[in-house]
Structure 1
Amino acid sequence: IISNCLSTFFSDHIQMKNFIFYTLLISFFAPGCYYSTIKKNKPAASPANDSVVHQPAISEAEFKRYYNASEQFYEHILERSQFSGEFLVAKKGEIIFERYAGYSNISTKDSLNANSALHLASVSKTFTAMAVLKLWEEGKLSISDEASVYLPGFPYEGVTVKTLLNHRSGLPNYVHVMEQLGWNRKKIVYNADVLQFLVTNKSKLQVARPNRSFHYCNTNYALLALIIEKVSGLPYPQFIYENFFAPLGMTNSYVFTMSDSLKALPSYNYKNKQEAFTFLDAVYGDKNIYSTVRDLLKWETALSYGNMFKQSTLDSAYAGYSYEKKGIKNYGLGWRMLEYPNEEKIIYHNGWWHGNNTVFARIIKDSATIIILGNKYNRNIYQAKKLFPAFGDYATEEDTEE
């Protein structure tokens, strides 16, 4: 490590008479060399279309401070709880700390690595929301339109694209009600089935008045995926690939469809038992994006430092829309948030599906990113909040699973 750090200072042919001088030089530079060596290069965000701008590097002192805090969190919170998954902390798009632990497949003992795509669970909603907002920017839809404009036969008045985005639609969660009302568990549910179920069973479903209160609901995002398909003319997986994954170089990311059944990595419960595929596992938009921590850092870098979206669009996405309850928790358009009294925000989303649980947290003002993807259920993943104070005054009791 030391010789690499000093390679620019002298050649390989050091004369003996300079031995004392170089010994002193080594002792002076060695501490900084260690941290500069372990710093990882910022992943290529990609941009064929120049969608990301360069950010200045952080200082060695900053790097050391954030590295130590991240290492302590990993060792005391994740590693001690038999974490299986991927963990990455970044500042200004630069990787500070990165770890991979556990197996991608317990049966074969294949270890997880930087190319292992894990199920993002509800972190997938961030892509669905931004896809809708991209179509809005392009003038192809209006978020104030009622959903029925884009979903023929949709019978719920007052439900708009916006209330789907911010979970104020009042619709019931298909994950719970479809089986309750008799859906055959042997028949796989697709997005079109969710819509048809809402149409057919309107008289049997308890539906709240739209835009009266916040109610987190996967149905909203299953319907948004259908709206994306209707407006764009493309299947949702293709739209996400062409507009986000390909331009940003997210080479290990994909939207799961049944054709991906053989390559999709399994997940496990806390007892290391593999979770079974269920009749609800083919619906996308609310879930079913697979990705890696490095690919998600590219997504974050494009959102924070790029020109993929107008600032006005991002401002709309990161605004809170639900203030019925006191506190700092709120929801924007596809993003959870913590709104502090000093007007600072943490923009994030958590997720849980089967054995996968995930955290994608973005400390906007301090340009920090915390990403945790687990493939064996572990509630300690949601303790990512304990890392927030390392980057500023962000104390919180937030512990939302998704």
Structure 2
Amino acid sequence: MIIKSIQNRFKKRLWLQRSALFLALTITVSLIISGCSLSSTGQNSEAEDFDLTPPSSQHTPAESKTIQDLSSYLERLSAEDRFSGVVLLAKDGESIFEQAYGYADRDSNAAINLETKFNMASVGKMFTATAIMQLVQEGKLSLDDKLADLIPDYPNQDAADKITVQQLLTHTSGLGDIFTDAYQKSDRSQYQTLDSYLPLFVNEPLQFEPGEKYAYSNAGFIILGLIIEHVAGTDYYQYINENIFEPAGMADTGFYSESDNVANLALGYTNRVMTQGETDDGTRTVAPRLGIGTSAGGVYSTAADMLRFSEALQNYKLIDAERVALLFAGNGIASTEENGVRIVGHSGGNNGVSTNIDIYPDLGYTVIALSNYDEGPKLFNERLRWQLTGNDIPQTMELSDSDLNVLEGQYKTEAQSPGQGKNVITTGPKGTASGQKPTTVTAAEGGLQVSLRGSVHHFVPVSPTEFYDYADPRSRLTFNRDEAGQITGLSVSGGQIRETALKLEK
């Protein structure tokens, strides 16, 4: 069904392209026949009657509304210095919204533009997964192959005898991370090849038996890169350049070392504490550039090039329909569903880096968000997903200051019991859930600012006791009252956080 859906979409796109070509030819012939005159400058004498930018009428009413909402929200985030980067929204391969915000280099006042290159972080795993599928398509390996069969001299034979290619792709291999304490304390300049990362994890015991659990693993994708090198007989970076970037037309994408002087490259800016003893005052500092990048991430690219990659995948320029279906089923590319709509892609993050690509194979949308701040796409991506999958932003109502003030205070959090699907109260010494700070609610900007599990959310009212998270409309905040009308507690549901809390007495 997945393959058929992708094929149907491609046929539809081909029909649209042929229709557009036929229309263009018809208009050209009509102009010639009618004797349309040109001025001496070579411009149409009635050029003022033609708007070459795509009119809003070409969008559906829902798309126009979504684009307007996205544009105004991003402008607000940029004005508050919360977002810096590029956002691109495309429909059937054509951009319908693309805008740049912030600075690529603050010291030189170099503004970000649509061609600025960003560190993609773990979004680069999509290239590695696609390369693996190419080798599967060529019959050079299978997803069921064991690591020991593909890299016979792998140092940890016990692990190699158990781990399959598919388990590496799906983060179920039992391998861990590469960004360990040993990495943080090491000389980063030594990591110039994929096998130079092996000492960081190769002798560590597996976290669990392969296939039993899920645990996100950068180490697993380092090994996938090594598999590509062994099977293809070439350097990983060369393989990706020749078999992914070049066929997809990604001329502005590449692996750059710290010493490379790359034009129009965004420096990362972080407000995280970078060194021991540093004060966390929220000030953004330049994040150090990482090394050349790996098969687990770190390649640099532009929004336009990432759209080219998305289109190359969906039009089978890189792998065939069967392999695209495998990829989109969660083998190296994340797959989720919202409002019954499939979304595939990947996110990435590091200090001064946050990226995300969402592909909607059945609707034709691609959303690319690249930022040189710690938290970029997460500020608006769920709101955009909500709208693109057919939902309206909830209608808000205006509440008085007194209505909001009565909701302010601290709430005792009910912690989730490990392994259970419901919340149970495990009260700590100060009346809060063990290990958690109280949930703090403060009236702000006509709504509520809620400090919840280490992050701050802005909830806006839809009724006197119900609010939605502006950044994630799925998430609803509801307040409970007793028989006397006093606020007794709150609950958060619908989004990524589910929480119940009782109000603490002042």
Same fold at TM > 0.5 = yes
Between 298-307 and 118-127, the greater mean CA deviation after superposition: 298-307
SS state at 2:53 partner: helix
Hey, what's the Cα distance between the residues in 2 that align with 1:258 and 1:235? 20
- Structure 1 letter corresponding to 2:334: R
Q: Which residues of 2 match residues 278-317 of structure 1 at below 5 A?
A: 281-317=291-327
1:184 is aligned to 2:186: yes
Query: Which has the higher Rg, Structure 1 or Structure 2?
Result: 2
Cross-structure match for 1:169 = 173
Cross-structure match for 1:268 = 269
Q: How far is 1:304 from its partner?
A: 1.9
Q: How far is 1:78 from its partner?
A: 4.9
Cross-structure match for 2:196 = 193
Q: How far is 1:59 from its partner?
A: 5.0
Residues 83/131 of structure 1: CA separation in 2 closer, same or farther (3 Å cut): same
1:159 is aligned to 2:160: no
Residues 275/164 of structure 1: CA separation in 2 closer, same or farther (3 Å cut): same
Cross-structure match for 1:338 = 336
Cross-structure match for 2:394 = none
Q: How far is 1:356 from its partner?
A: 0.8
Residues 70, 89 of structure 1: 8 Å contact kept = no
Between 291-300 and 258-267, the greater mean CA deviation after superposition: 258-267
Q: How far is 1:258 from its partner?
A: 5.7
Between 268-277 and 354-363, the greater mean CA deviation after superposition: 268-277
1:97 is aligned to 2:113: no
- Structure 2 letter corresponding to 1:275: A
| Equivalent residue for 1:384, pick from 381, 385, 388 | 381
Q: How far is 1:169 from its partner?
A: 0.5
Cross-structure match for 1:352 = 349
Hey, what's the Cα distance between the residues in 1 that align with 2:65 and 2:304? 21
1:365 is aligned to 2:375: no
Hey, what's the Cα distance between the residues in 2 that align with 1:348 and 1:195? 27
Hey, what's the Cα distance between the residues in 2 that align with 1:318 and 1:186? 34
Q: How far is 1:185 from its partner?
A: 3.9
Residues 336, 343 of structure 2: 8 Å contact kept = yes
Equivalent pairs counted in the alignment come to: 342
SS state at 1:255 partner: coil
SS state at 1:360 partner: strand
**Per-residue displacement from partner, 1:5-31 (whole Å, max 9, x unpaired)?**
xxx797579xxxxxxxx9xxx9xxx8x
Q: How far is 1:222 from its partner?
A: 1.2
Greater RCO (CA < 8 Å, at least 6 residues apart): 1
Hey, what's the Cα distance between the residues in 1 that align with 2:388 and 2:262? 40
**Per-residue displacement from partner, 1:192-250 (whole Å, max 9, x unpaired)?**
12224434x34xx4531101111011111111111111111221111111112112211
SS state at 1:144 partner: coil
Hey, what's the Cα distance between the residues in 1 that align with 2:178 and 2:334? 21
Query: TM-score by structure 1 length?
Result: 0.75
Stretches of structure 1 that go unaligned for 5 or more consecutive residues are: 1-7, 14-21, 41-56, 320-331
Cross-structure match for 1:70 = 70
Cross-structure match for 1:393 = 390
Query: TM-score by structure 2 length?
Result: 0.61
Q: How far is 1:382 from its partner?
A: 4.6
C-alpha RMSD of matched pairs (Å): 3.3
Residues 169, 211 of structure 1: 8 Å contact kept = yes
SS state at 1:89 partner: strand
SS state at 2:90 partner: strand
SS state at 1:301 partner: helix
Q: How far is 1:176 from its partner?
A: 1.9
Hey, what's the Cα distance between the residues in 1 that align with 2:233 and 2:55? 43
Task: Calculate percent identity across the aligned residue pairs.
Answer: 26
Cross-structure match for 1:53 = none
Q: How far is 1:380 from its partner?
A: 5.4
Counting strand residues as a fraction of each chain, which structure ranks higher? 2
Q: Which residues of 2 match residues 115-134 of structure 1 at below 5 A?
A: 115-134=115-134
Counting helix residues as a fraction of each chain, which structure ranks higher? 1
Residues 282/291 of structure 1: CA separation in 2 closer, same or farther (3 Å cut): closer
Hey, what's the Cα distance between the residues in 1 that align with 2:81 and 2:377? 7
Residues 174/12 of structure 1: CA separation in 2 closer, same or farther (3 Å cut): closer
SS state at 1:148 partner: helix
Q: How far is 1:38 from its partner?
A: 4.9
**Per-residue displacement from partner, 1:149-181 (whole Å, max 9, x unpaired)?**
22322420311111110000011212125348x
Hey, what's the Cα distance between the residues in 2 that align with 1:340 and 1:67? 19
Hey, what's the Cα distance between the residues in 2 that align with 1:97 and 1:175? 36
Residues 347/149 of structure 1: CA separation in 2 closer, same or farther (3 Å cut): same
Hey, what's the Cα distance between the residues in 2 that align with 1:103 and 1:341? 36
